[in-house]
Amino acid sequence: MNGRAGPAVIEPTFSPPAERRSVLDRAHVGDVEGALGTLSVFDTGPRRSPRRRLMTLLAILGPGLVVMLANNDAGGISVYAQAGQEHGAGLLWVLVALAPVLFINQEMVARLGAVSGAGHARLIVERFGRRWGAFALGDLLALNALTIVTDLIGVTLALGFFGVSRYLAVPIAAALLVAVIVGAGFRGWERTMLTLVVVSLAAIPLALLVHGAGGAVGSTAAPASSGSSFVLLVIAIAGTTIAPWQFFFQQSNVVDKRITPRWLAYERLDTLLGTVLVLLGAVAIMLTCAWAFDGTALHGSFADAGAVARNLRATASPLAAILFAVVLLNASLLGAAAVTLSGSYAVGDYFGFRHSLHRRWRDARVFRATSVALVAIAVAVVLIPGAPLGLITTGVQALAGILLPSASVFLLLLCNDRDVLGPWVNPGWLTAIGAATVGALVALSTILTVTTLFPDADVATISVAVFALLALVLAAMGVLQLRRPRHRPTTLSTAAERAAWTTPRLDTLPPPRASRLRSATLVLVRVQLLFSAALLLARLVQAGLGG
């Protein structure tokens, strides 16, 4: 407004900069150096004008957008395309229902990162013990390697459409990934990622193009069937949309970006914007395939994402086919880059190695080398002639189904931990919503594990059984919660005090308060994990005996 006129006015609303005391790496403290702007550590002034608010938002934009759009990776695009081709617009409601779940989860991890300055893996070690931490890290790394494999397969399908051999496509993609991993500083990395995020929005013009070209749009609203394949597809959509690596990625990325509680409101907007865009992108892919194949012989016969691109050339237009291949290629690269980095962050965080994109290769060798190793493993798997690629997709879903329940339960417990989050703990209503969504996720993962490992199982019966069991457990927990003595709200209430509050040093925190709710939850997580692991083992034995 009248920015530089008149003498300086002393503002009583300035607060001290928030100092995060638990960071593991000195590079996690300092100025925010975002792709689109910079914020000084000492900048605690109020944001009065819309222009300053916008500049602040631009500087913060990044972690939320990247984590959300990386979510629509090769696996996501395939599943959405399959849903569109086989069920028309009949599964759109699943995406709409999942978007709030995505937002709630990611808002919580971003808050944990900004307030504590520690990554997700380290908080799990500190609050739930080394064993849970080691389990989470091991499963995450295996899952990440397999996810990068699926992304590289996405690259081969996309470049295969343009006639590029997989033995050329995979090394090129891997070289690009390694170049970004080894060469980029924080700002360069984030700019690369945001470019990929912008390109991923090409899914929206693609859908409009197909809508305009197709013309013959029938009654796409009615689901084609409601049998067990339908339920499985719903679960597969949920499984690819809510992925455990996202927790680890966004929390560490917020820490690495040096976002403090001072900027949490802007980080929430970042996450919200990402949620809206990822929803639009997924809906666009689903509708593209719904509109393009409805009423044709191809309706209901999904093969893979590469076949979708080839078929689009016939049913829609060559331009649509090219756009789809570009979107698929872009999604695979974005997904692989983010998943790779989440592995690097988690290793550094768990073992105490320096882990920041602000550091060059020679100052953070383990951090960068972890990423290179993950990409190398994935390349090797993809290029092995006759690699069991179908088994890998199954493996991703089984491992995710094993990791997601504990990760989401820990997330909710951490967000209710007054020692860690102080005035930033979840309000009661958010805990209630969170508990319901975590419950649904645990149930879905269990069904996913069962049906992935035993495809012949009766999905409907299992679903009913699992959800009934879950409802019982939730009701029991609700009773426990009601009988618990209520905590008094903390005295920190003004926004300025909250903005400067950070977690005390993690090793000085008192041990987590034992409550019946907490122990009951942990028992539940163990039971679920043992159940999934037993299933996995049974399946392996069965496969071994069956030959």
Partner 1 sequence: MSPSERPDRKPLSPRQVEQVADVMFALSTASRVAILDQLRLGPATVSGLMEATGMEQSAVSHQLRVLREHRLVRASRDGRRRVYELYDDHVALLFDEAIRHITDTSGASKARRGAARLRRGAR
Binding site for partner 1 (CB under 8 A): 24, 26, 125-126, 129-130, 351-354, 363, 505, 507-508
What's the min distance (Å) between Cβ of 355 and partner 1? 10
If the CB atoms of residues 24 and 400 are measured against partner 1, the closer one turns out to be 24
- 38: helix, strand or coil: strand
Amino acid letter for position 204: I
* Region class of 47: left (phi > 0), else alpha (psi between -120 and 50), else beta: beta
Nearest CA to 105 out of 506, 408, 322, 533 is that of 408
What's the min distance (Å) between Cβ of 30 and partner 1? 10
What's the min distance (Å) between Cβ of 193 and partner 1? 25
What's the min distance (Å) between Cβ of 188 and partner 1? 18
The Cα 162–Cα 321 span in angstroms is 10
Which residues touch 19 (CB under 8 Å, ≥6 apart)?
29, 502
If the CB atoms of residues 35 and 364 are measured against partner 1, the closer one turns out to be 364
The Cα 518–Cα 1 span in angstroms is 51
If the CB atoms of residues 16 and 129 are measured against partner 1, the closer one turns out to be 129
- 131: helix, strand or coil: helix
The Cα 175–Cα 179 span in angstroms is 6
If the CB atoms of residues 351 and 454 are measured against partner 1, the closer one turns out to be 351
The Cα 445–Cα 265 span in angstroms is 31
What's the min distance (Å) between Cβ of 127 and partner 1? 11
If the CB atoms of residues 352 and 388 are measured against partner 1, the closer one turns out to be 352
What's the min distance (Å) between Cβ of 118 and partner 1? 11
If the CB atoms of residues 87 and 358 are measured against partner 1, the closer one turns out to be 358
If the CB atoms of residues 187 and 354 are measured against partner 1, the closer one turns out to be 354
Count other C-beta atoms under 10 Å from residue 38's C-beta: 12
If the CB atoms of residues 353 and 454 are measured against partner 1, the closer one turns out to be 353
Composition of the chain by helix, strand, coil, percent to 5: 75, 0, 25
Helix (H) or strand (E) run with residue 39 in it: strand 37-39
Helix (H) or strand (E) run with residue 459 in it: helix 459-483
The Cα 114–Cα 415 span in angstroms is 12
The Cα 154–Cα 76 span in angstroms is 10
Amino acid letter for position 160: G
What's the min distance (Å) between Cβ of 253 and partner 1? 21
The Cα 480–Cα 471 span in angstroms is 14
What's the min distance (Å) between Cβ of 522 and partner 1? 17
If the CB atoms of residues 229 and 508 are measured against partner 1, the closer one turns out to be 508
If the CB atoms of residues 78 and 370 are measured against partner 1, the closer one turns out to be 370
The Cα 498–Cα 527 span in angstroms is 38
What's the min distance (Å) between Cβ of 24 and partner 1? 7
What's the min distance (Å) between Cβ of 27 and partner 1? 9
Count of positions (residues) in the chain: 547
What's the min distance (Å) between Cβ of 453 and partner 1? 34
The Cα 120–Cα 355 span in angstroms is 13
What's the min distance (Å) between Cβ of 26 and partner 1? 4
Beta bridge partners of 33: 38
If the CB atoms of residues 26 and 526 are measured against partner 1, the closer one turns out to be 26
The Cα 278–Cα 129 span in angstroms is 34
* Region class of 6: left (phi > 0), else alpha (psi between -120 and 50), else beta: left
The Cα 547–Cα 544 span in angstroms is 5
If the CB atoms of residues 48 and 130 are measured against partner 1, the closer one turns out to be 130
The Cα 379–Cα 170 span in angstroms is 7
